[in-house]
Amino acid sequence: MGTYSSVVNEAYLAALEGDWNRMILAYHGQNYVYVMLPVTVSKDTSFHLAVYSERREPLQGLLGIVNRNPTLGNPLTKKNTYGNTVLHEAVVAGNMEAVKLLLQIVPREQGEFHPSEQLQARNMLGETTLYRAASCGNKEMVEYLARLPGQISYGKLLEDHRKRGDLTPILHAAIQGQHFETALTLLKLDPSLGDMTDDQGMTCLHLLADMPSAFKSGYAIPTISIRKLLYCWLSAPKGDGCDQSRSKRATRVQSIGTQSSRNNNDTAHATKSSSVNSTSISWKDETSCCQARIVSGLMLGIGR
């Protein structure tokens, strides 16, 4: 049986190199006792890292270890320093296979726990996984999570998903990231989101009016002329979503930091990239202005 330091060091390095089978093997034999413990200074477990594999198997292998040893606890409720559960990280990674797996697995001997409880879990910013998907601009993930049982009631998203801790509405977050196709999806799922305001009393239309990059002219327009947002009516091209290239995933795993147990002196130099919580894609100006006009059109009730 290895020491905690040697096991988590091996697991972390394996994840960094994308050798997911090796990461699972790090917990073979009696080393399984360490599988639930943090491997980074940000308190990410191997479960948090495994979702960046772009596949289902690494996570499934780790969950198998826990299911064979139920006294270890429930990995689905483990949070890192940022309050992110494994499901939060899977959503950011855009790993739909991992997301579906997490939502169907019920760890043994976990009492009344149900996988759907993960959907209401909030991180340190007060974001649910659905909110996180919207702020990343992952349209497919937003639609999948929102359509799960119980997430929409009487045509409205559950209150948990509508705002985060700083009172920024979910639709505002999508528009602020210029994820206009995701914003369209949210409006179609819950039209009432267009009426929400932030803590400054700003609606989504106010945000769009003050966003020069959303318009062909390159200039913001006065809020009083909000209907002039509709310069023309064009179809929105596809392509909204988080950039989940291999290089992005490698950067994510590397940025998580070095393992916390290796040397206490190392922790002062280990940091976690802030880009993890702001994953997005770069939009061409023309695409952005077209989709912004369609978003504003929907909120004005035009073009239905």
Alpha helices in 156-216 (DSSP H): 159-162, 170-176, 180-189, 204-209
pLDDT tens per residue across span 1-27: 889 999 999 999 999 999 999 999 999
How large is the greatest C-alpha to C-alpha distance in the chain, in angstroms? 70
- DSSP β-bridge partners for residue 153: 156
Q: What average pLDDT does the structure give for the chain?
A: 78
Kindly state the average pLDDT of the residues 95-120. Answer: 82
The pLDDT, as a whole number, for residue 150 is 92
User: Of 29-33, 84-88, 146-150, 271-275, which range is least confident?
Assistant: 271-275
pLDDT tens per residue across span 282-303: 334 444 544 554 455 555 553 3
CA atoms of 253 and 16, how far apart (whole Å): 6
The pLDDT, as a whole number, for residue 242 is 56
pLDDT tens per residue across span 231-284: 332 343 444 545 444 455 555 666 555 444 444 444 333 333 333 333 333 334
Domains of the chain: 1-124+246-278 (1.25.40), 132-244+283-304 (1.25.40)
CA atoms of 221 and 208, how far apart (whole Å): 9
The pLDDT, as a whole number, for residue 105 is 78
pTM reported for the whole predicted model = 0.76
